[in-house]
Structure 1
């Protein structure tokens, strides 16, 4: 049986908002006198992307202290370690966190404290991708980028944008200037696209937002010229197969285009998106895809290598992980 936990790899498309533990959320509610949105066994239940995002807002609204954020960050790094992840880029979207809207710098500091403590204890290092929400304005986007530029926090590696593409409509032109400024400030740029939108969202991410990595991107498969562009430019897709099935983008792994994209030369990696809320792990996602597409060890190794190469880890850490990966045997 293939050891997907022992496989040296990175996770590059995962939201901290999707990694909460039910016990922590319940403790937050008890401390602040917040009524539960649902019984414990249905606390993370949502039936579509709109309901999913509303649930995230409620969950994040229960986090009100620096200690709660630091604990969440520490437990995130622990979760990564249990799955054999050597480095993770985690997305945080400040719009979901109502008690931190006016103190984003403080929120970043609190997360940083938890990540730093975890790394000191031997858990994997984590980079923070701070995300815009698609419904924000161009001015709000620029304001966030200016804040990130002012504080220049060592934990922040990238600007991101996420949210419901289908509901928000085309947003590439709105955020183009913010992403241009982010690039000029030395931030990497990762963009959710090609999930609830079609391939046009992926094209906008490349042409208008300068994306060096795309979160999801699966619906690029509907445009052969776009697939060729992704392969030619080697723009990596952070694909989350289990999430795509849970949220109805595809009906089954047999219908999922991850293997077709891989075979077309597009750099693809396997990720979990929101593992607590979807009740999955990274090793389970690897195992399900390996079975569905009959991947051999060398293909699995290539996918893990792509996850490392597409990550925002520093070059020395990437080199160490890739050396270990070359020695991996299932």
Structure 2
């Protein structure tokens, strides 16, 4: 892997946008643009938590407090940096109060993905943040699906949903959620996820084992946040207890050679988000991030944004910084694009089309 690129080798954002790719670790809650928040706040008569021009600057502050008390949100307390961020997500999702507003948010997400060259996304949605939809979670899924349907009809990025549990939810609640998903099969919900602050809640794999087993038996795919604010043990639990097919983050796996071997042997990919890890304090800077060591070890890695709007980024920007920091050239970035397609929960037809589209770009031969 090259670490010293010539000027001709350097990868710019335009080249990255041109690569057909998927994004598999991105939260819908973290993609509201500033104009979305201003419009929704105005429509609902809700005060902003600070000046509009610096709204996202406060999103990663641990002391963030919403100006309006949410009802039913579930982020709770967390580790420094992350807890304020989760409260910000609760506040902004609380601005979405009608089906039309939810559909608009979904459509805008697909449009933004398309502008980054993303052809397919598994977007994570955790209904506990959407506090105006308590008891109507599947109605929220239906409203979001309507927005994604409209985007697809307009030729924008194809989007499916990974319905996410929150780590602090109870075992019984998680199982009720999955039974409801299985019974009602909401459109575009293709996977079960779990997210939230690992460090604050401790190990939760055993608690959610039965919920994920039910999801697996019903044909739902499984992706699990692990190996972020806690160590590699969360990744082991995701594999052994939750039948995870994909790990969101997983970067702390680098601390355990046996876990690296397990990931490679099982073909489990890591949905890595370098900017998020640095901004939220998992690593002190980009140069300290273990991404190149994971790649060199042979782990399948995808590059993702996590929560791009409050983190002030885009997929092409994060890919460009990754390339510049670690010396990845365009062929290596095309490998990340190919791995994103394979790691996605897209159906076989979409994957085949994207493989051929990437091959036509001159980067990777179709499988």
**TM bucket, shorter chain:** over 0.9
Work out which of the residue numbers 157, 176, 180 in structure 2 matches 1:143: 176
Cα separation, 2, equivalents of 1:254 and 1:327 = 33
> Are residue 95 (structure 1) and residue 128 (structure 2) matched?
yes
Select between 74-83 and 261-270 the one with higher mean Cα deviation: 261-270
Measured on the aligned residues, the alpha-carbon RMSD in Å equals 1.1
- The number of residue pairs the alignment matches comes to 330
Distance in 2 between residues matched to 1:217 and 1:277, nearest whole Å: 21
Among candidates 41, 47, 51, match of residue 39 of structure 1: 51
2:20 aligned with 1:8: yes
Question: CA-to-partner distance for each residue in 1:80-106, whole Å, 9 max, x for gaps?
Answer: 000000100000001001111111111
Match of 2:49, SS state, is coil
Does residue 54 of the first structure (1) align with residue 54 of the second (2)? no
Whether 2:40 is the aligned partner of 1:28: answer yes
- What residue number does 2:346 align with? 313
Contact 2:141 2:187 in 1 (8 A): no
2:80 pairs with 1:68: no
| 2:268 corresponding residue in structure 1 | 235
Q: TM-score with structure 2 length normalisation? A: 0.88
Q: Please, which moves more after superposition, 204-213 or 19-28?
A: 19-28
> Partner of 1:295 in structure 2?
328
Distance, in Å, in 2 between the alignment partners of 1:105 and 1:256 is: 38
2:251 corresponds to which residue?
218
Q: Which runs of 5+ in 2 are unaligned?
A: 1-10, 62-80
Gaps of 5+ in 1: none
2-side partners of 1:35 and 1:300: how far apart?
42
Deviation (angstroms), 1:23: 2.1
Which residue is 1:108 aligned to? 141
Q: CA deviation at 1:73?
A: 0.2
Residue 29 of structure 1 and its aligned partner are, at CA, apart by: 2.0
Stretches of 4+ moved more than 6 A in 1? none
1:229 deviates by 0.7
CA deviations on 1:199-230 (whole Å, 9 max, x unpaired) are 00111000010000000000000111101111
1:248 aligns with 281
Say if 2:142 and 2:187, in contact at 8 Å, map to a contact too.
no
Report the Cα distance in structure 2 between the residues aligned to 1:278 and 1:220, rounded to whole angstroms: 24
Describe the SS at the equivalent of 2:282: coil
* Pairwise CA distance, 1:329: 4.7
Counterparts of 1:199 and 1:41, CA distance in 2: 39
Q: 1:327 Cα deviation (Å)?
A: 2.8
Moved more, 288-297 or 124-133: 288-297
Q: Could you tell me which of 257, 270, 273 is aligned with 2:306?
A: 273
Q: Deviations over 1:47-100 (max 9, x none)?
A: 210100011111111110111100000000000000000100000001001111
Partner of 1:18: 30
In structure 2, C-alpha distance between the alignment counterparts of 1:295 and 1:215, rounded to whole Å: 22
Task: Provide the secondary structure at the position in 2 that maps to 1:10.
Answer: strand
Equivalent residue for 2:216?
Answer: 183
Deviation at 1:322, TM superposition (A): 1.1
Return the offset for 1:251: 1.5
Measure how far apart 1:263 and its partner are. Answer: 1.3
Counterpart of 2:281 in 1: which secondary structure?
A: coil
